[in-house]
């Protein structure tokens, strides 16, 4: 008769390690979030340095959009490989291996003698930052209660929003007094400090599944690719490509140029607006996450939030008063918190054993969408300039149209059978 006190080797090794206390888990999560905060800073830095880049390199609106979009493109393309790396080698090793590229990219950008070197720096920064938020969401999924996932993800997005604060008034003041190169240099130093903190502080607790045999790289990649064959993945991915991208295209690229070109505001004044939007973004994700209605009503709330955002972009296109424009931008910051519900929707749409891969695919779609929308908005801006039309009117309408197209796909494409079982709509 078998001895019930004997455990399989992998379970025994996991049981031998005492579980980490909530305080230790929170400390590790906050340390990982420092890299995500810097990733947030990089993805929104273009809005503040755009005027300096146009002056130093003579960039057109199209080139500016391509520069901003390259971060999202390199970030999104490498998500698949970062997800595989985390499955095979763990969160800590993956982040510590990739993040030095962000340090190198920042240094190259700070010293860039031409636009091409600037693009190389942006490429390296995007790859280096690509595991940042995925590591945080996977850490939350692995080590915190599942019914707190939406709230915890909201908290993570809020803490990561500290990077947005830096690219508000502080960076605007530094750029105005020291130049945009100084901003990249400071970001390189902050990235190095974050890497050291992760190396010293983050040691992820082992789970029983960690001792199971790991798949090969080829099988792991096939596992990710298999998700693209699942019909409901496309509804999630297409909505993911436009939700966060719409907010980031305005906050991270066009906010400062629009306020400067339309109303003649100073760089610091536009930085103040960006700062207030960023402060709002610290809190609204956790608020939306706290009031997550669950699978039965979550998708309806996501569509409502996206529709409100599209309406704000339409209003930004046609409103030409500085106070009203700033008010609409702040309202955009408030409404943007709905996007945290999309992470909870992903988690509810797939079996638990594929959650990590699903989050990775979703994050890849999200940042490919950022790249495409920022690049596309640059094309639209260049077209408007060529036809002597009001540039930002067409840019905002383009963003609104892409967001509503994503909503239609999300509404009418197949949904997960798991959501159907839970009464999701």
CATH (domain of 411): 1.20.1250.20
pTM of the model: 0.79
Number of domains within the chain: 1
Residue 59 lies in domain? 22-203+226-421
Q: What is the pLDDT of residue 95?
A: 95
Residue 162, domain member (yes or no): yes
- Tell me 208's DSSP state: G
- Tell me 112's DSSP state: -
Local confidence pLDDT in tens for the 425 residues of the chain: 444 444 344 444 444 455 678 788 889 999 999 999 999 899 888 888 988 998 899 888 889 989 989 998 998 888 888 888 887 888 999 999 999 999 999 999 999 999 999 999 999 999 999 999 889 988 888 888 877 777 787 788 778 878 888 888 888 899 889 999 999 999 999 999 999 999 999 988 776 555 666 667 777 777 777 888 888 899 999 999 999 899 989 988 899 999 999 999 999 999 999 999 988 877 888 888 888 888 878 999 999 999 999 999 999 999 999 999 999 999 999 999 898 899 889 888 888 777 777 888 888 898 899 899 999 999 999 999 999 999 999 999 999 999 999 999 999 988 888 765 665 55
Residue 16, domain member (yes or no): no
Residue 36, domain member (yes or no): yes
Q: What is the pLDDT of residue 19?
A: 61
> What phi and psi values does residue 169 have, to the nearest 5 degrees?
-60, -45
Provide CB contacts within 8 A for 10, sequence distance 6+: 208, 209, 210, 211, 212
Residue 110, domain member (yes or no): yes
Residue 137, domain member (yes or no): yes
- 29-48: b or e for each residue (b if 16 or more CB lie within 10 Å)? bbbbbbbbbbbbbbbbbbbb
Residue 3, domain member (yes or no): no
Question: Could you identify the residue written with the tokens 């999924």?
Answer: 141
Residue 327, domain member (yes or no): yes
Q: What is the pLDDT of residue 180?
A: 93
Residue 258, domain member (yes or no): yes
> Which candidate, 292, 286, 267, 259, places its Cα nearest to that of 183?
267
Question: Measured over all CA atoms, what is the biggest interatomic distance in the chain, rounded to whole angstroms?
Answer: 86
> Which candidate, 103, 104, 105, places its Cα nearest to that of 119?
105
């Amino acid at each position: 008769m078998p001895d019930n006190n004997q455990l399989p080797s992998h379970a025994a090794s996991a049981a031998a390690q005492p579980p980490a206390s909530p305080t230790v888990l929170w400390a590790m999560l906050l340390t990982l979030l420092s890299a995500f905060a810097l990733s947030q800073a990089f993805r929104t830095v273009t809005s503040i340095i755009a005027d300096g880049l146009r002056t130093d390199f003579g960039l057109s609106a199209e080139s500016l959009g391509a520069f901003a979009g390259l971060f999202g493109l390199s970030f999104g393309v490498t998500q698949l490989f970062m997800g595989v790396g985390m499955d095979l080698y763990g969160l800590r090793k993956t982040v510590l291996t990739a993040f030095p590229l962000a340090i190198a990219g920042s240094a190259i950008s700070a010293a860039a003698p031409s636009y091409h070197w600037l693009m190389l720096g942006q490429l390296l920064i995007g790859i280096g930052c690509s595991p940042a938020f995925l590591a945080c969401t996977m850490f939350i999924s692995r080590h915190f209660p599942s019914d707190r996932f939406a709230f915890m993800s909201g908290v993570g997005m809020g803490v990561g929003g500290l990077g947005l604060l830096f690219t508000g008034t502080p960076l605007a003041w530094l750029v105005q007094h020291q130049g945009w190169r100084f901003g990249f240099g400071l970001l390189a130093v902050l990235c190095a400090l974050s890497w050291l903190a992760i190396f010293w502080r983050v040691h992820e607790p082992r789970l029983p599944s960690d001792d199971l045999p790991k798949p090969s790289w080829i099988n792991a990649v096939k596992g990710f690719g298999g998700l693209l064959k699942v019909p409901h993945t496309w509804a999630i991915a297409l909505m993911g490509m436009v939700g966060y991208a719409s907010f980031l295209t305005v906050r991270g690229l066009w906010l400062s140029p629009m306020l400067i070109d339309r109303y003649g505001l100073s760089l610091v004044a536009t930085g103040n607006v960006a700062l207030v939007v960023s402060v709002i973004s610290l809190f609204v994700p956790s608020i939306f996450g706290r009031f997550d209605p669950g699978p039965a009503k979550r998708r309806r709330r996501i569509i409502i939030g996206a529709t409100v955002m599209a309406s704000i972009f339409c209003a930004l296109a046609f409103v030409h008063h500085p106070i009203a424009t700033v008010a609409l931008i702040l309202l955009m910051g408030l409404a943007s918190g709905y996007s945290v519900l999309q992470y909870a929707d992903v988690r509810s749409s797939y079996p638990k054993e594929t959650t990590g891969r699903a989050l990775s695919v979703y994050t890849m779609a999200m940042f490919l969408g950022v790249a495409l929308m920022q690049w596309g908005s640059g094309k639209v801006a260049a077209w408007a300039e060529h036809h002597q039309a009001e540039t930002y009117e067409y840019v905002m309408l383009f963003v609104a149209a892409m967001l509503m197209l994503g909503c239609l796909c999300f509404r009418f494409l197949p949904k997960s059978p798991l959501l159907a079982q839970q009464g999701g709509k």
